[in-house]
Structure 1
Amino acid sequence: MSDHVDVVLAQWARQRPDLDTTPMAVLGRLARLARLVEARQQATFARHDLDAPSFDVLATLRRSDPPHELTAGQLASASMITSGAVTQRLDRLEAKGLVSRRRGDVDTRTVLVTLTAAGRSAVEAALPDHLDTGRRVLAPLADRDVERLAHLLRDLLAEHETS
């Protein structure tokens, strides 16, 4: 079975046979797969009136210990959105009644974000669909290959996140 990346690699092999295109073989496929997965996840979240960054904030709060409350800074570092996007995202989620914000008791400069009952319901409804989307993406691989891929990607990511 071949894919678009194979076509690109074959073209480079004809034009520049002196170059090792192995990085392109891996990174090109990761980039194309990331776009495909993102589109499928967006469709999944849209069915729940969410988007990926909103789901990520809600999921980050949900997986934190009760009362499912974090500072805006903790949310930024624990979620997969930038700190600059946190305020904008929180404004939207608060307007929908999915989170609430309040000033800290000890340090009033601190903003505490709490998952509301509606937010908990939203993330609980979306999570199984999100996991099913992931399972469908990974379905062509055997379970042992999924585990191996997860370990390889963790090692690669860990190396680059610490450098």
Structure 2
Amino acid sequence: MDDTPAELRRRLFDAAARMRKQRQEPPAPEGITSAEMYTIMAVSRLEGEGRSVRSGDIAKCGHATPSAVSQILKSLEEKGLITRQRDKGDSRAVTVHLTDDGRAFSARGREVHEQMIDGVLTYLGSEDAEHFVRIMERLADFPASEVVRAQQKGCTQADSPVAGADASPACAAGAVEGRCASSQASPAKGGVTCA
């Protein structure tokens, strides 16, 4: 193929748009919203890393406001899926913990997620799946300097939709989710790594 950079960019945006239209979330159990599902998964991931989970950590994972996370946590607590406790080391801080029901829910969510990923990799076939994973690993190492350059070229707000065919490479890399790549947390800069 001898596609020009502009043609490759157009194809990338077209494919990302088709993926967004076709993407189907696993059905949430009755009475659980998708934001609540995401929050449970984020708490599980952070707890699995041995961290004391605070609402601010969850907000960073989901690029959400602290007040939105607070409302979700209140709802999850009422449903018996999480508990909130004063931090033993800092009485002003509150930590979030999954209950047994919350852990069971998270385990089922991970199982569904893994089945979906396995389905994607099977659909791609072994050779394309290997290339896909290699490319994703390479994108994960995309230089921070490119993200800064993208911000300077107009991709400045983490939640702004990626618009226009002249978006920078960092914006194009984040196009699959419709956000600038700069919205991704960077562990090297003190960000929170999320599932």
Pair in the same fold by TM > 0.5 = yes
- Give the CA RMSD over aligned residues: 3.1
Is residue 128 of structure 2 the alignment partner of residue 145 of structure 1?
Answer: yes
Report the secondary structure of 1:140's partner residue.
Answer: helix
Is residue 42 of structure 2 the alignment partner of residue 54 of structure 1?
Answer: no
- Of 1, 8, 12 in structure 2, the residue corresponding to residue 26 of structure 1 is 12
Q: Within 5 A, what are the aligned runs for 1:80-91?
A: 80-84=62-66, 85-91=68-74
Aligned-pair identity (%): 23
5+ residue gaps, structure 2, are: 148-195
Report the secondary structure of 1:102's partner residue.
Answer: strand
Q: Counterparts of 1:158 and 1:52 in 2: how far apart (Å)?
A: 29
Structure of higher RCO (CA pairs closer than 8 Å, 6+ residues apart) = 2
Q: Counterparts of 2:82 and 2:30 in 1: how far apart (Å)?
A: 16
The amino acid that maps onto 1:82 is A
Q: TM-score of the superposition, structure 2-length normalised?
A: 0.58
1:7 maps to what in 2?
none
The amino acid that maps onto 2:58 is L
Structure of larger gyration radius: 1
Report the secondary structure of 2:6's partner residue.
Answer: coil
Q: Within 5 A, what are the aligned runs for 1:1-163?
A: 20-37=6-23, 40-41=24-25, 44-47=26-29, 50-63=32-45, 64-65=47-48, 69-77=52-60, 79-84=61-66, 85-156=68-139, 158-159=141-142, 163=147
Q: 1:151 to 1:86 in 2, by over 3 A?
A: farther
The answer as to whether partners of 1:102 and 1:113 remain within 8 angstroms in 2 is yes
Q: TM-score of the superposition, structure 1-length normalised?
A: 0.67
5+ residue gaps, structure 1, are: 1-18
